[in-house]
Amino acid sequence: MEQVLLDYLRRLSFFPPNATDTDDQRPASGDRILVETHLEKVVVRKGKLSLLLKSKGDDGRELSGVEIDWSPSGGTRAREIIGIDRQTARPMRSEARERLLVALTKARRWLAEIITDPETTTQVIAAREGCSERAVRMNLNLAFLSPAIVRTVIDGALERGTGMSKMKDLPVSWIDQTKMASRRP
């Protein structure tokens, strides 16, 4: 948006005649002076910017309100690929992958039980499975893994050293999960 505003103000010939259009010859402080001197207000609207200018153009006419077509850049983040280059990274061991997939399946099943049956608690599941309640709670975190990470586990594309303990400690945000899972241990 800033670049669109600066380009528009430059096109209105607010710079002296000896100024050139190359950015390397125009100091950044000149841009600041240009904005402070000639721009009163900017209102962002759908599909355009409304400018209120303070001064006159080179032709001597009064410039007050101007609208410029503008659209913001895409708000979606670029997708990230989990893992390191396959040529340099060793893949996850098949045994660790299998244990992680079994734990993911159990966690999703347990979560579904807890949601559908009000009498099911982590204590009930722990007693049935023969493990501690803490183990059940830790494994339930796996039910909230991002689909991208689950797909990577299924494909066997996670690097070696990324196992259940690392997956259980991931944050809730899927974006943060992806960043943390792609780091080397």
pLDDT at 185: 45
Q: Render pLDDT for 24-47 as a digit per residue (tens, 0 to 9).
A: 445 566 777 777 777 788 888 888
The pTM for the full model equals 0.47
Cβ-contact 159, 98 below 8 angstroms: no
Sorting pLDDT into bands at 50, 70 and 90, what band is 88? low
Cβ-contact 67, 55 below 8 angstroms: no
Sorting pLDDT into bands at 50, 70 and 90, what band is 124? very high
Task: Provide the β-strand partners of residue 45.
Answer: 48
**What does the pLDDT average to over 102-112?**
92
Sorting pLDDT into bands at 50, 70 and 90, what band is 85? low
**Which segment of 39-53, 108-122, 130-144 scores lowest on mean pLDDT?**
39-53
27 token code pair: 């100091």
Cβ-contact 25, 36 below 8 angstroms: no
108 token code pair: 């999703």
